[in-house]
Chain A
Amino acid sequence: MTYSYSIGATRYGFADLRALLAKASPLRSGDVLAGLAAATAEERMAARLCLADLPLTTFLNEALIPYEADEVTRLIVDRHDATAFAELAHLTVGGFRDWLLAYEADAAVLARVAPGITPEMAAAVSKLMRNQDLIAVARKCRVVSAFRDTIGLPGRLAVRLQPNHPTDDARGIAASLLDGLLLGCGDAVIGINPASDKLSTFMQLWHMLDELIARFDIPTQSCVLTHVTSQIRGIEQGAPVDLVFQSIAGTEAANRSFGIDLALLGEARAAALSLGRGTVGDQVMYFETGQGSALSAGAHHGVDQQTCEARAYGVARAFSPLLVNSVVGFIGPEYLYDGKQITRAGLEDHFCGKLLGVPLGCDICYTNHAEADQDDMDNLLTLLGVAGVSYVMGVPGADDVMLNYQSTSFHDALYVREVLGLRHAPEFEAWLERMQILGPGGRVLDQPAAALLPLLDDLGRP
């Protein structure tokens, strides 16, 4: 079906729903690269004006990628909850924005309608929203998940401790890990991106993290972020796997380029659940996403990158994850050119994820070939903190020495907790107090915690 909108004497035509969504999207380099972006600023506004009048039911009747051709479309369509959608069914996309911003749309109402919202609806309404709208609505959403601690409670922020090392050296990883714990980080997960591609290395990392968590009775979970097939093999060989990680995308073909499909994700989840390692919950999946991944794999089917990203959250939602984060600036300037585009994308991703009921965190980051710097990260961290982001990354000094990019640091987490009054996950907070890492008033103490000193001694020993 074609769409059109006239401004004065100029009539703007849009070949199909994909084209309408793409041209309504705020400017970003990835959509320009794909040849999908609006040619002029007025064409972009024509697309938004047209989109605003579109009934939400359009997205149930017109698939962006055909049902027969794409298992992600089938997942979205087959799992759509028509009952939950009923109270939204009369709305246009523009009316949906107003509905979301109304006082009546509180946490309970938003949770109730979430299963009736498709990723495409979330993406569409986001294109009509200003940054403050994305923040205000996301802040009202409540998505809580649990494994050994509870993530996503009001007024709380968790941090993934990311102690990567360029050669996976166990003592080097432990040194970064201890630094992060002493600055109060690690309640989302202690997650290592290994440099190696060897199962024997992964096995050592899983055991090392398991022993550390057990030794100090830390209410958190571990993860070795490698391909899902390696994690299944690790579980088969007896590895103590808490969370199973996988990068996911919003189309079947993009997922195939990652070497995965939905059945494999289901198999991995079943394998992790079979270990029964959670205490306060059993959400065992950790997914990472990012705008541009489908285009990067040549698998976007003419769909703009922000809508593809929302579809990835549709995939995530089907597997009841503990953690999902967009790695928003990692992919590079050909997809998100500068700090402005990265900031906008981070707020869109967080909004779409939360609206769909997914526990969204964000790796607020950039690479050295992007037009961005640490000031842009400060801005987005502050904005996402206000928006109620579930978790952010904690990388020593914001400099990941394995993945070669800059993210947020342990110190950044201290900053955002202080200025916004955000507390740790409750179980982890109690542990930090017990270990005398947190002092009165919830601030970290200057001296290394006595209870962790044995680990310091072990590390200092050759």
Chain B
Amino acid sequence: MDEASPPDRWQALRALTPARIALGRSGNALPTAEVLRFGLAHARARDAVHLPLDVGALVTDLAAAGFSALQVHSAADDRVRYLLRPDLGRRLSDASGQALEEHAGPGADLCFVIADGLSAVAVQKHAVALLRAFDAVAHGQWTRTPVVIAEQGRVAIGDEIGQRLRARLVAVLIGERPGLSAPDSLGLYLTHAPRVGRSDAERNCISNIRPDGLPYTAAARSLAWLVQEALRRGETGVALKDEGDVPLIGGDAR
């Protein structure tokens, strides 16, 4: 037992998790300061949902890292349509579909898609860093299409993009729903033999990619394992478990 009183030691546990623990009480309720802290976080997350992706800046960042990029737009014209009509966010606009056909080429092992999803902030901050981390572990062993940037896109937009670019695998990097503690969480969805109509059970997901969540290197290693196994076994989804030896529990995540 150390010298500190139990309440102090209890407060020290807050360092172990970003979760809102040891908040104290006013009767049964939260203390005023915590109610306001929560309200501010919610206000910021609400604002983040509606912040648009800065495509120009992303193209510049990709170019600086050595990636060429194509730009597409989903069939959802704007944010309100995107939020109310997920079907439109899963398909390319007619113009984008035709434009991709012209870039189809001979195909490749892997196509990366960067889609804004529900947090453009996540994509803006983490997508290029994750691609660089992947390059560091992939050692150029897989052929790739240009990176495709999709505005107002949902996960399944990768199916149409991968199909049109004749990719054997599509990896969609997408902004996850903003949380209060993490408005910038990046998700990654890998799909073998992408084509319109794939179900979510046919994908593998790596979620919560960000420096304070799953770090880039760990995510990149998991992805490399999934890519290797998906190409070897010819499938993704629930049949393909991530058994790569990247430790998560007690790791260096914080």
Segment of A8-16, A76-84, A150-158, A162-170 engaged in the interface with chain B = A162-170
With A204-B249, A404-B185: A163-B19 Cβ-Cβ less than 8 Å: yes
Q: Is A368 within 8 A of B48, CB to CB?
A: yes
Contact indicator B17/A456 (Cβ below 8 Å): no
Given contacts A369-B49, A374-B38, whether A259 and B17 have CB atoms under 8 Å apart is no
Q: Is A457 an interface residue (CB 8 A)?
A: yes
CB proximity of A415 to chain B, nearest CB, Å = 5
- Measured CB to CB, the nearest residue on chain B to A176 is B19
Are B248 and A459 in touch, CB under 8 angstroms?
A: no
| Residue interface mask A169-181, B partner, CB < 8 A = 1 | 1111111101100
Interface pair A195/B85, CB less than 8 Å apart = no
Given known contacts A397-B21, A399-B41, A401-B182, A199 and B243 CB-to-CB distance under 8 angstroms: yes
Q: Is the CB of A195 within 8 A of B17?
A: no
Known: A172-B16, A197-B204. A457 touches B1 (CB 8 A): yes
Give B106-153 interface residues, CB cut-off 8 Å to A.
118
Interface presence of B57 (CB below 8 A): no
Residues of B with C-beta under 8 A to A173? 17
Q: Which residues of A contact B214 (CB under 8 A)?
A: 166-167, 195
Residue B232 CB within 8 A of the other chain: no
Could you tell me if A297 and B200 are in contact, using CB atoms closer than 8 angstroms?
yes
Contact A165 B17, beta carbon cutoff 8 Å: yes
Q: Whose C-beta in chain B lies nearest to the C-beta of A395? A: B19
A197 touches B205 (CB 8 A): yes
In the complex, what distance in Å separates the CA atom of A337 from the CA atom of B80? 12
| B2 & A460 in contact (Cβ 8 Å cutoff) | yes
Contact of B18 among A256, A333, A401, A417 (CB under 8 A): A401
Query: In the bound complex, how far is the Cα of B178 from the Cα of A195, in angstroms?
Result: 16
Task: Given the known inter-chain contacts A178-B13, A373-B42, A411-B29, please indicate yes or no for A33 contacting B21, CB distance below 8 A.
Answer: no
Residues of the A chain whose Cβ atoms lie less than 8 Å from the Cβ of B85: 33, 334
For the complex, is A406 an interface residue (Cβ under 8 Å from B)?
yes
The CA of A273 and the CA of B153, in the complex, are separated in Å by 43
Is B234 positioned at the interface, with any CB of A under 8 Å from its CB? no
Whether the pair B10, A448 counts as a contact (CB closer than 8 A) is yes
Pairwise interchain contact B6-A448, C-beta atoms closer than 8 A: yes
Interface centre among B2, B22, B178, B200 (most CB of A within 10 A): B22
- Chain A 203-214: CB-based contact to B (< 8 A → 1; otherwise 0): 011000000000
A436 at the interface (CB under 8 A from B): no
B219-254 interface bits toward A, Cβ cutoff 8 Å, 1 = contact, 0 = none: 000000000000000000110011110101111011
CA distance A13 to B83 in the complex (A): 31
Asked if A447 and B7 make an inter-chain contact with CB atoms under 8 angstroms apart, the answer reads yes
Residues on A with C-beta less than 8 A from B21 are 175-176, 179, 396-397
Cβ contact within 8 Å between B16 and A459: yes
Complex Cα distance, B200 from A229, in Å, reads 16
Are A166 and B208 in touch, CB under 8 angstroms? Answer: yes
A229 touches B6 (CB 8 A): no
Minimum Cβ distance to chain A for residue B252 (Å): 9
Do the beta carbons of B208 and A402 come within 8 Å of each other?
A: yes
Partner of B19, one of A227, A373, A396: A396
CB atoms of B253 and A167 under 8 A apart? yes
A198 touches B242 (CB 8 A): yes
User: Could you tell me the distance in whole angstroms from the C-beta of B214 to the nearest C-beta in chain A?
Assistant: 6
Residues on B facing A (Cβ under 8 Å)? 1-2, 6-7, 9-10, 12-14, 16-23, 25, 28-30, 34, 38, 41-42, 45-46, 48-49, 83-87, 118, 176-183, 185, 199-201, 204-208, 212-214, 237-238, 241-244, 246, 248-251, 253-254
Q: Residues on A close to B: CB < 8 A?
A: 29, 33, 163-176, 178-179, 195-201, 204-205, 227, 229-230, 256-259, 296-297, 332-334, 337, 367-369, 373-374, 396-406, 409, 411, 414-415, 417-418, 446-448, 453, 456-457, 459-460
4 new A-B pairs (CB below 8 Å) besides A167-B214, A175-B13, A396-B20?
A: A198-B246, A368-B48, A368-B180, A401-B182
